[in-house]
Amino acid sequence: MTVHLDHLLIPSKNREAAARRLAEILGVTWAPATIGPFTAVHVNDGLTIDFDEWTQDFPKGHYCFRVPEPEFRVILARLSASGTSYRSLPHGPDDHQVNTSLGSLIVYWSEPDGHVWELLTESYARSPKQGQGESKSAA
């Protein structure tokens, strides 16, 4: 069986502002979702991020996008042009540096809602050193 992530919902204080900002940084489209009270960012043909507006506190998430190096450079230029601070580590001060320590180009930035966004060129989560896990069903 092949499994694909189709969409995910991210809480925000202002769904339209959050969607517009992410779409502009990534260079993709956004619009009100066709179903529900969400604002959608169309990341690619297979993934939509739906921003939902919450008035109560919500947990802060970490979301990562993997792109080829040419797109990384374009998106990094958009981050800089928009005045968005970024950093080389998931947490800590904004140092406007690109992390290269894991064999990838990596940057992180935070949005007003407190979510941490990551952009990288190679997935360290899928490192060949980690091996392949196996899913087992209960009999």
Per-residue pLDDT reduced to its tens digit, 28-70: 999 988 888 999 999 999 999 999 999 999 999 999 999 999 9
Residue 139 has pLDDT above 60, yes or no: no
Residues of the chain with CATH 3.10.180.10: 60-128
Residues of the chain with CATH 3.30.720.120: 1-56
Note the CATH number of domain 1-56: 3.30.720.120
Q: Is the dihedral of CA 42, 78, 111, 124 positive or negative?
A: positive
- Nearest CA to 113 out of 69, 47, 36, 54 is that of 54
pLDDT of residue 35: 84
Residues 6+ apart with CB under 8 A from 99: 88, 89, 105, 106, 107
Q: What is the mean pLDDT of residues 23-28?
A: 97
Fold type of domain 60-128? 2,3-Dihydroxybiphenyl 1,2-Dioxygenase; domain 1 (3.10.180)
pLDDT of residue 46: 95
Measured between alpha carbons, how far is 42 from 87 in angstroms, rounded to an integer? 25
* pTM for the full predicted model: 0.87
Residues 6+ apart with CB under 8 A from 41: 19, 22, 23, 26, 28, 29, 30, 48, 49, 50, 51
